[in-house]
Structure 1
């Protein structure tokens, strides 16, 4: 089993990831549209759903996955303010995220362990107030959500956004990770910490 598998879903081409655990299971990170179908096709039932943040494109299938009896972990509890549905409606693309319950709120926590998988948590607001990254120190894998991208960052102009705050959080909480750490973002291809420290034109350490 690969340490990490990627699925891309929804019209914003949002990434979801399955991360293997030492106990032989898998955890799912983020749930864009059609993630449930992907899980079913691959006969995978993850042990947990972890959300990097709750913008609509990352949680469209969260309710369907929660209905499988899978616990949901997020920095904050569910709210329509965090899913940004109203903003999308203003763009002329009305949609509704089916409500779901957050079983485990991560606010204030620095680590999380599921089935032997140990993850370091970093709260990095600025794209969304509830943005959190998941760092598998054992395998040097960082799932960054919409904080750090390959050559860019998440946008800071959505409700609760602040690009300066986001960039400061990246410099203080993400860039100190080992350079060889592989970064798996919420959109687009993977990168490494070193590649972004050297070449990211948006964030400068």
Structure 2
């Protein structure tokens, strides 16, 4: 498995390209990632959305136009992308609408490009937040649930600090401490480091 990281958009959102002998997939779709993928000469078969806040889905429609399948917990809506709320904030947020090809079944592992991915629904930052755990690679893609020594903000529509903390403690910190964590923003970390050093989780 080869892992490459792209960071783009005005809030510096991370996307992760996973390349395997059996295919390639992308975690999240921030602004500019389609151009980055094209410049690498790589075909992306599937895009897994950790959640649908605008900064993670700006390029979702563009990726779908290249032939990629979109996977998410829920169908596209302006509530999930925060486009509805942003109007009240006076922010010119606009996402090109897209159609989700496959909705996650949280109870079943997802097999993509020869990789088995264990899904966890961890709401609190957003109602549709999902994390992706690749046990054979020791990797967790945490979206905006868990960051290096921080957690996702919970003051947006559908947010809940208690719900987020409960989900992190019961579904993420139970993973092996050596698990590498790749979040939606900022640097990578590990489950062990966050268990010991994250001030929100002490």
Task: Give me the TM-score of the superposition, normalised by structure 2.
Answer: 0.96
Deviation at 1:87, TM superposition (A): 2.8
Deviation at 1:154, TM superposition (A): 0.4
Runs of 4+ in 1 over 6 A off after TM superposition: none
- Separation in 1, partners of 2:189, 2:157: 27
- Separation in 2, partners of 1:14, 1:193: 21
1:127 and 1:161 in contact (8 A); partners too: yes
Aligned residue for 2:49?
51
Task: Give me the TM-score of the superposition, normalised by structure 1.
Answer: 0.95
1:126 and 1:162 in contact (8 A); partners too: yes
- Separation in 1, partners of 2:21, 2:192: 27
Structure 2 unaligned runs (5+)? Answer: none
Deviation at 1:5, TM superposition (A): 0.9
Aligned residue for 2:12?
13
Aligned residue for 1:175?
173
1:93-148 Cα deviation digits (max 9, x unpaired): 21210000000000443310012111000000000000000001001000000000
Indicate which of 89, 92, 95 corresponds to 1:91: 89
Map 1:155-174; keep pairs closer than 5 Å: 155-174=153-172
- Separation in 1, partners of 2:21, 2:159: 36
- Report the count of equivalent residues: 202
1:110 and 1:122 in contact (8 A); partners too: no
Aligned residue for 2:121?
123
